[in-house]
Structures are given as structure tokens and as C-alpha cells.
Amino acid sequence: MNERRTLKINEKGHLEIGGCDSVELAARFGTPLYVFDEKYIRDMMAVYRDAIKAFYGGKGLVLYASKAFSCLAVYRIAAQEGIGVDVVSGGELYTALKAGFPADKIFMHGNNKLPQELEFAVSAGVGTIVVDAYDEADMIDELCAAAGRSQDVLVRINPGVEAHTHAFVQTARTDSKFGFSVSDGTAENITKYILAKPHLRLKGYHCHIGSQIFEKQSFVLAAGKAMDFIAAVKADTGFEAQTLNIGGGFGIWYTDEDAKLGAGDYAGYLEALAGEVKAKAAELGLSLPFLVIEPGRSVVGEAGVTLYTAGAVKDIPGVKKYVAVDGGMFDNPRYALYQSKYTVLLANRANEKCTERVTIAGKCCESGDIIAVDCALPAARRGDIVAVLSTGAYNYSMASNYNRNFIPPAVLVKDGSAEYIIKPQTYEDLVRNDVLPDRLK
Ligand code: LLP
């Protein structure tokens, strides 16, 4: 836990977040419950925003990558913090606009944006669309022709750097559904194609090298390669990119296997990136591009805690002990998908000594429905409040109604107050779109 996070253990031995006793939150709002720490989210947005000012003279923009957690409240907070957002679907775009988010500060991504999503983006006046296919450029150009306007666009490129949590590799050829490779000429080809489109204003390039990355050097390397590419395109075509969007991917703490980064560390990524871009610009005789970053996980991930109630406890002698909770892969599919690790504690007995290692299972009819494995806990009993930390990113946004379970509600906590930002679902919600055709009646 670090200085921006309001998580602590209070005098009752309960987990506290945002000044709220999590056991009281569980009693008041029920479980499972997503809890979001407003201070943490605002502080992280400010860290990146201020780092662009401090290390790059403010010539840039932070976009919150809203795929990490999308709801009205988070877009409203981003708007209040003066940053932009990235959206990847009509649904995220709709939510942002509904929250009153300024369209000109929205970047639209996606490797296969649907025609109707492009139409929505163009008619809403989305600031920048990141092009990832030839015929997408055609579609945007045609939409703009019909609307009598033009559109700022970036091209998604693959600079040949693939980053993983603690390592990165340089690749000559990229096998990815995203982007155009700089190494095989395809990125330059689409550049020329877009430059010839009358209604598209090509502003520059975007790349995103991965997620949950700690290695600073991987961002630096990607930025350097992107700058080399900008210089090569300028030499060949005369076009000099004005914008460089380096994507997101900054890592967060899930367990003590991960670094616990403070505000200064996150600002440090920007410092390193800005330093490389400036050095490359000087070396290559380029003007400083407008620098964009798109953090998602690191803005909301550590801001979130999920509260569950423990139910069945099953001890399989010589094998393992399962503690089942009232949630599961429908509110957090990340163990099922990626074998992700989490830190778990008993929120109502947070001071007690951990005496065993258990697996936290969900309630779905599926043996892979696990939330976390190998969790050190005091002996859990039915009724304990189980808290899973760092669940703010890619949990709610990847939740489902599998087994017709409810996607849990979410509350935003700050200075001892808690309010819904996502209401609980009802059984009626689950059948809302179901239809019985006449022949089944
Ligand atoms: N920009 C682009 C173009 C992206 O594709 C992503 C994430 C981001 C920004 C934000 O990256 P972040 O700062 O959140 O790492 N569901 C996975 C994560 C998928 C990330 C996809 N792209 C998970 O739960 O780990």
C-alpha cells in the first residue's frame, strides 16, 4: 500500500478504504461489492498530468484508457481532472458522452471498429480516431465527406517492441491483429494512403507495447523506434508527424511479487519517455511531437477492492482448502483467463495472523471458477468478509452475467462517505432483453 492509497487497517482490526470501514460497507451495500477509492483515481490522473507538465513542458495529453473501468462516474472524474480518455467501442464512447465528457478529448481505438461505431464517432465529433485498417481510412473519409468536415487521425504502428511484465523483446516482424509494422514498410504505406485522403488530417502515430509492464526501458525503446520511424517517413515523404501516442501499460501492485510503485515512480516513466523523445528529436532534427500516453490499469487498478462474503469452506486433506465466496469469474475473470495473482485478506479480521494458504473459489458451476490461489489467510469461516485487493482495473469492465449471477454494484468512497456509482442489478434486469416469440407462447 502506498501514499496515494487510503487502504489501512482501523482500530477495530477491519480493512478501511477511503475512510470507510469495509465491514460496514459490506453490511450496508451487500456483497459482492466493488469499492473504488476516489482519491487514488484522482491522484493517479494528476500524477501523469503533472508529469507531462514537469518533464515535457505540458506539450501532451494523458488519456485514461477507459477499457480498464468504464462507467459514468469515472469519465466525470477524468473530465474534472482535465485529462482525455481513450474509448474502444460505441458503448464506451456513449458512456463518455453521456457523462458529459468533451468529445474533442476522446481518442477512439479498435482493430475492427464497426461502420456504425465510426459513424457515431464522426458525428459525435470525437477528437482523434486511431486508424488500424485501410478500409477504415476509407470509411472515415467518406463519413467526413458526407458531413462536410475533416477528422484528425493517428495510425497505429508496431515499433517492434513487445513488453511483458518484467522483460521485453525486440521483434523484426510482428504477429498482431493490431497496427502496421514499421519494419516491413506497411506503416509507411498506410501513411501515404491516408495522406492522400482529402478529409483525413494525419497527426501522427500510436503504439501500445503491452500491459502490466514495469521495465522503463521498454517504453523508452518503443518511443525511440517510433521517433526513428517518424524521421524515416519525413525523409521519404516530407510528412512529419506532430503527435506521438505511446499507449499505456504501466504496471501495478497485485502481490508482493510486483513492485509497489509510488507517485514518483509513475512520474519517472514519463520522465524517461520525455527524455528519450527530446533526445531523439534533437538527434534526428525533428520538432517535439505532442506526447500522448494512455494509462488504464495504473489509474484505477489499485483504487479498487472487491468485498465478498465467505460461504462454504472445503478442506481436502493433503490437497488444498477452498474458501468459496459469493462472487466468482463473473465479477473477476482474470484468474480464469490469465492465472492472475491477487492479495486477499479477511476484512473483518485483518489483524489476525495468517495460519493457512487457501484457494478462493467462486460460486459458478465451473471448476476453473477461481479468484485467487495460494492466499495466506487466518482460518476463514462462513460469514467472513473477504477482500481482494487491486481489482479496480479489468474486473468490472470484464464482468459478465454468467450463470445469471448479478454483476456486482460499485461504490465510490472518499473521506468516509460511500455512494453507488453502479447500482445493483435485479432479476428483472437479467430477463429485460429476453423475448418469448409467439410460437413459444
Ligand atoms: N492503450 C491501448 C491501445 C490498449 O490496448 C491498452 C490496453 C491501454 C492503452 C491501457 O493499458 P493499461 O495501462 O491498462 O495496461 N484485460 C487485460 C488487459 C488488457 C489490456 C488491453 N489494452 C487484463 O486484465 O490484464
**Which pLDDT tens digit goes with each residue over 160-206?**
888 877 777 777 667 789 999 999 999 999 999 999 999 999 999 99
Per DSSP bridges, beta strands 180-181 and 151-158 are parallel
Active site residues per annotation: 365
Q: Do the beta carbons of residue 189 and residue 246 sit within 8 Å? A: no
> Tens of pLDDT along 371-416?
999 999 999 999 999 999 999 999 999 999 999 999 999 999 999 9
Residue 212: the pLDDT is: 96
Q: Do the beta carbons of residue 280 and residue 232 sit within 8 Å? A: no
pLDDT band at 130 (very low <50, low <70, confident <90, very high): very high
- Alpha-helical (H) ranges within 360-437 are 427-431
Does residue 297 line the site of ligand 1, with CB under 6 A? yes
Query: How would you list the strands of the sheet with 20-21, edge to edge?
Result: 8-9, 15-17, 20-21
Compute the distance between CA of residue 363 and CA of residue 331 in angstroms, rounded to an integer: 11
Residue 176: the pLDDT is: 86
Does residue 65 line the site of ligand 1, with CB under 6 A? yes
Residue whose CA lies nearest to ligand 1 atom number 24: 394
Joined together, the cell numbers standing for residue 274 give 520525455
* Ligand 1 atom nearest to CA at 297: 14
> Tens of pLDDT along 60-70?
999 999 999 99
CB-neighbour burial class of residue 172 (10 A; exposed 0-12, middle 13-18, buried 19+): exposed
Dihedral of alpha carbons 25, 31, 34, 40, sign = positive
Residue whose CA lies nearest to ligand 1 atom number 23: 394
Q: At which residue does the C-alpha cell 501513411 appear?
A: 191
Which of 89, 62, 61, 85 lies closest to 74 in space, CA to CA? Answer: 85
Q: Do the beta carbons of residue 6 and residue 40 sit within 8 Å? A: yes
Joined together, the cell numbers standing for residue 182 give 514499421
Ligand 1 centroid to Cα of residue 269, in Å, is: 17
Compute the distance between CA of residue 409 and CA of residue 397 in angstroms, rounded to an integer: 12
Does residue 110 line the site of ligand 1, with CB under 6 A? no
Q: What percent of the chain has pLDDT over 90?
A: 94
Does residue 349 line the site of ligand 1, with CB under 6 A? no
Does residue 249 line the site of ligand 1, with CB under 6 A? yes
Residue whose CA lies nearest to ligand 1 atom number 20: 211
Does residue 60 line the site of ligand 1, with CB under 6 A? no
Residue 1: the pLDDT is: 39
The residue to mutate among 83, 297, 334, having the most atoms of ligand 1 within 8 angstroms of its beta carbon, is 297
> Tens of pLDDT along 193-227?
999 999 999 999 999 999 999 999 999 999 999 99
* Ligand 1 atom nearest to CA at 212: 15
Compute the distance between CA of residue 355 and CA of residue 375 in angstroms, rounded to an integer: 10
Q: What are the DSSP calls for 68-121, one per residue?
A: GS-SHHHHHHHHHTT-EEEE-SHHHHHHHHHTT--GGGEEE--TT--HHHHHHH
- Give whole-number Cα distances, 288 to 53, 244, 256, 333, in Å: 14, 9, 38, 41
| pTM, rounded to two decimals | 0.97
Please state, as a whole number, how many other Cβ atoms lie within 10 Å of the Cβ of residue 365. Answer: 9
Does residue 70 line the site of ligand 1, with CB under 6 A? no
Q: At which residue does the C-alpha cell 488444498 appear?
A: 320
Per DSSP bridges, beta strands 60-65 and 417-422 are unpaired
Residues 6+ apart with CB under 8 A from 175: none
Q: Do the beta carbons of residue 88 and residue 64 sit within 8 Å? A: no
Q: At which residue does the C-alpha cell 501532451 appear?
A: 60
Residue 401: the pLDDT is: 98
Q: Do the beta carbons of residue 268 and residue 293 sit within 8 Å? A: no
* Ligand 1 atom nearest to CA at 156: 3
Ligand 1 centroid to Cα of residue 63, in Å, is: 12
> Tens of pLDDT along 279-299?
999 999 999 999 999 999 999
- Give whole-number Cα distances, 414 to 47, 167, 394, in Å: 18, 36, 22
* Ligand 1 atom nearest to CA at 398: 16
- Alpha-helical (H) ranges within 366-417 are none
- Give whole-number Cα distances, 366 to 28, 199, 314, 362, 402, in Å: 30, 51, 16, 9, 10
| Three-state SS at 353 | coil
- Alpha-helical (H) ranges within 285-414 are 297-300, 334-338
The residue to mutate among 67, 206, 339, having the most atoms of ligand 1 within 8 angstroms of its beta carbon, is 67
* Ligand 1 atom nearest to CA at 337: 24
Residue whose CA lies nearest to ligand 1 atom number 12: 249
Does residue 109 line the site of ligand 1, with CB under 6 A? yes
Please state, as a whole number, how many other Cβ atoms lie within 10 Å of the Cβ of residue 285. Answer: 9
On the question of pLDDT at 2 being above 60, the answer is: no
Where do the domains of the chain lie, and which CATH numbers do they carry?
A: 7-31+304-391+393-423 (2.40.37.10), 38-299 (3.20.20.10)
Ligand 1 centroid to Cα of residue 211, in Å, is: 5
Residue whose CA lies nearest to ligand 1 atom number 8: 248
Does residue 68 line the site of ligand 1, with CB under 6 A? yes
Residue whose CA lies nearest to ligand 1 atom number 5: 208
Q: At which residue does the C-alpha cell 490499469 appear?
A: 297
> Tens of pLDDT along 425-435?
999 999 999 99
* Ligand 1 atom nearest to CA at 109: 3
* Ligand 1 atom nearest to CA at 130: 3
Please state, as a whole number, how many other Cβ atoms lie within 10 Å of the Cβ of residue 99. Answer: 18
Helix or strand run (H / E) with residue 275: helix 263-284
Residue whose CA lies nearest to ligand 1 atom number 21: 211
Please state, as a whole number, how many other Cβ atoms lie within 10 Å of the Cβ of residue 317. Answer: 6
- How much is the mean pLDDT over the chain? 96
Joined together, the cell numbers standing for residue 308 give 465478498
Ligand 1 centroid to Cα of residue 420, in Å, is: 25
Does residue 247 line the site of ligand 1, with CB under 6 A? yes
